[in-house]
Amino acid sequence: MAEQTTKHKRPRRSIASRTVFSTIAGCITLSILTLIIGLNLYAEALINKYVDNAFDTSRHAATSAKHGVNSIGLANRVMEIYRGLSEEERAMTGTPEYRAKFAEIEESHEYSTLIKMFQTYIHSDNVYDVYLAMYDIDTCTMVYIADPDSEGQLYPGEWEPATREGMMKFLEWDGNGVLYDIDNTKKYGWICTAGQPIRDEDGNICAFVLTDISPSNFMGNIMRFAVSTFAGTILITILIVCFQLHYMKKTVVKPVKNISQAAGNYVRDKKSGANVTDHFSALKTNTGNEIDELTDVMSEMERDLIEHENEITRITAEKEHIIAELDLARKIQADMLPNSFPAFPDRPEFDIYATMTPAKAVGGDFYDFFLINDDHLALVIADVSGKGIPAALFMMISKMLINNYAEHIYSPAKILEKMNNVICRKNKEEMFVTVWLGVLEISTGKITAANAGHEFPVIGRADGDFEYLNDKHGFVIGIMDGMTYKEYEIQLRKGDTLFLYTDGLPEAADSDEELFGTERVLDVLNRNKGRGPAELLNAVQAEVDSFVGSADQFDDLTMFALKIMQ
């Protein structure tokens, strides 16, 4: 706090001094921009001139190379040898061993003639380099055929990596305009390459005569232009600054200072609670420019702020009310699900545990388990499409239908069929729910189950690992009327565990959008086999939390475990 107070008490430059500074800075900036634009235009024209010259050099050299020697045959022999090399052999480029593979080419009369020819063009046209090369699409490289560069000569067959964009620019040239490319390479820095293709009798490109020009070719001319232009802009800048300072003080500095004082009075009165609403409307700037409009806007803003503050107060109260209602809805939803564990303390035959973590305040997943009679236990896990309030309402309807039908019908398939028909009749929003429904015969450990589009259950045997049970899926509930579902049986024995879940478990994603996946589900289950349902689910949840990290939860996550104890 003391440090902040000290900062506020530090001397500040006045608006007038800031205006002087900004005016000078603005004029200098304008001058620099003018200089830059002029330099760009001049440089572009100069570069175009050099590029045209380089292209003409390539064109003339290509004509000489094609008609003066058998350059097509030479290029074809180099590329034939190059394409016949393995990747390991190509990686030896630049070594004596690699050069030896092309020794016959280097010793040929055509090669030496091309080198002398290109040297003549380099000296006569004052360019950086003229050489014969070919692009190889398969390896994305430029393969040199004849290069007379005295400083860094590349011998036949030696290659350098090429960008696909630059390579295709040359290979797909339609013959119109000037063929060139400018690139910043690691080896040469900025370089401009113009080229002319050499084609065989069938019109196929066999090689390119390429001409390189370096920025040093035209930097001297650009620097001379820059110096003369800079001197002229400085003189103009001085004249503009003198005029602009006088004008700005009269039409901007003083009116802005008055607006600043009014703003300070506005803040002071707001803090003190004074009901003053004419801080800006009382100003008489009379500048005849945008400052007058600014004063009018500030006056209107002052009125709008008062209305806005009242609106914010009202919206805040409504938001708090909505948050309270959502919290109540979350509690109601949680209370509808069995949440007291152990759920059946007087039934030692089995142990059961379940959790539901919604992605929003309320969710569409649900689980349920209840005794139909002394020897039959209903087991339910479901996942409603979507999230939030709509999914929660659909979930409550689905849960109640299952509970109602299960009291009279012991067949999971028949329960799902009746539930589907009821929902389809009044499902205009076309929501749906996936359901796994099973009925455990407690005395025998036999589960009769039906699956309406839900995830595969996982069975963990007392003497083995957890494994997915690839049961037959029926169609989801709520989309198509008249659907039928098939039942199947699962025989559980002492120590066996049934694990159920919604897709929020395998589809939990980390910050890189990698999914938790079904294999990780099996892995964590098998690392914790033998544990009770509560410990097992807590271990899975901890593994998911560690995997997801700081990423937001995308979907509801529900898990359910049943273990046969005796």
Residue whose structure tokens are 């013959």: 175
**Do 395 and 455 touch, CB atoms closer than 8 A?**
no
Cis peptide before 342 (omega within 30 of 0): yes
Nearest of 552, 533, 145, 160 to residue 341 by alpha carbon: 533
Tell whether 215 and 347 lie within a shared domain.
Answer: no
| In a domain? residue 277 | no
Tens digit of pLDDT for each residue in 178-216? 998 888 777 777 888 899 999 998 889 999 999 988 766
Is residue 317 located within the same domain as residue 383?
no
**Same domain flag for 316 and 448:** no
**Same domain (yes/no): 541, 436:** yes
Describe the crossing of helices 109-125 and 15-68 by its angle, rounded to 10 degrees.
140
3-state SS assignment for residue 323: helix
- CA–CA dist 394, 428 (Å, integer): 12
Q: Within the chain, which residues score under 70 in pLDDT?
A: 1-20, 23, 215-222, 241, 244-254, 273-291, 293, 302, 310, 313, 316-335, 361-363
Are 86 and 223 in contact by the 8 Å Cβ rule? The answer is no
According to DSSP, residue 509 is labeled B
Q: What is the spatial distance between Cα 115 and Cα 130, in angstroms, rounded to a whole number? A: 9
Q: Which stretches within 500-551 are classed as H helix?
A: 517-527, 533-548
Distance CA 384, CA 391 (A): 6
Beta-sheet strand order (sheet of 466-468): 350-357, 557-564, 497-501, 458-460, 466-468
Whether 247 is covered by a domain: the verdict is no
Helix (H, G, I), strand (E, B) or coil at 414: helix
Q: Which of 424, 366, 448, 374 is nearest to 400 (CA)?
A: 366
Which residue type is seen at 245? Answer: L
Q: Residue 535's domain is classified under what CATH number? A: 3.60.40.10
Judgement on whether residues 210 and 357 belong to the same structural domain of the protein: no
- The amino acid sitting at 251 is T
Under a CB-based contact definition with an 8 Å cutoff, are residues 473 and 488 in contact?
A: no
CB atoms within 10 A of CB 159: 21
Is 352:471 a contact under the CB 8 Å cutoff?
Answer: no
Asked whether residue 349 falls in the same domain as residue 207, the answer is no
Single-letter residue type at 14: S
Instruction: Report yes or no: 229 and 256 within 8 Å, Cβ to Cβ.
Output: no
* 3-state per-residue secondary structure call for 120-159: HHHHHHCCCEEEEEEEECCCCEEEEEECCCCCCCCCCCCE
> pTM above the 0.85 mark?
no
Domain boundary residue among 336, 369, 396?
336
The answer as to whether 138 is a domain residue is yes
CA 499 to chain CA mean position, Å: 35
Query: Tokens for 184?
Result: 């910043």
Distance (Å, rounded) from C-alpha 498 to C-alpha 449?
Answer: 12
Bridge partners, 452 (sequence order): 435, 474
* Residue 265 and residue 244 in contact, taking contact as beta carbons nearer than 8 Å: no
Residue 501 lies in a domain: yes
- Beta strands at 159-161 and 466-468: parallel, antiparallel or unpaired: unpaired
Whether residue 77 is contained in a domain is answered as yes
Between helix 290-336 and helix 254-272 the angle, nearest 10°, is 40
Q: What is the pLDDT of residue 334?
A: 60
174 and 139 part of one domain? yes
Instruction: Please indicate, yes or no, whether residues 317 and 400 belong to a single structural domain of this protein.
Output: no
d(CA 147, CA 75): 12
What confidence score (pLDDT) does residue 8 get? 47
Do both 361 and 391 map to the same domain? yes
Edge to edge, the sheet with strand 365-373 lists 365-373, 376-384, 433-441, 446-452, 488-491
| Residue 540 exposed, middle or buried by CB count within 10 Å (0-12, 13-18, 19+) | buried
Q: Could you tell me if 310 and 429 lie in one domain?
A: no
pLDDT tens, 441-459? 999 999 999 999 999 999 9
Q: What integer pLDDT is reported at residue 363 of this predicted model?
A: 67
> Residue 321 is part of which domain span?
295-336
pLDDT reported for residue 126: 84
Reading the block at residue 540, the tokens are 């899975």
Shared domain check, 416 and 347: yes
Q: Concatenated DSSP letters for 380-410?
A: EEEEESS-HHHHHHHHHHHHHHHHHHHTT--
Residues 6+ apart with CB under 8 A from 23: 241, 244, 245, 248
What are the DSSP calls for 170-228, one per residue?
Answer: HHT--S-S--EEEEEETTTEEEEEEEEEEE-TTS-EEEEEEEEE-THHHHHHHHHHHHH
With respect to residue 448, please indicate whether it lies within any of the assigned structural domains.
yes
Residues pairing with 451 in the sheet = 436
Q: Domain boundary at 200, 219, 238, which? A: 219
Show the beta-strand stretches assigned E in 200-348.
205-213
Supply the pLDDT for residue 7.
46
Q: Are 321 and 305 in a shared domain?
A: yes
Residue 343, domain member (yes or no): yes
- As a residue count, the chain comes to 566
How far, in Å, CA of 248 to CA of 257, rounded? Answer: 12
User: pLDDT value at position 1?
Assistant: 43
Tally the domains of the chain. Answer: 3
Count of beta carbons in the 10 Å neighbourhood of residue 448: 18
20 lies in some domain: yes
Query: β-pairing, 350-357 with 557-564?
Result: antiparallel
Amino acid at the residue 532: G
Q: What pLDDT score does 151 carry? A: 76
Task: Report the CATH number at residue 118.
Answer: 3.30.450.20
pLDDT, one tens digit per residue, over 461-495 is: 999 999 999 998 999 999 999 999 999 999 999 99
Residue where one domain finishes, among candidates 203, 219, 235: 219
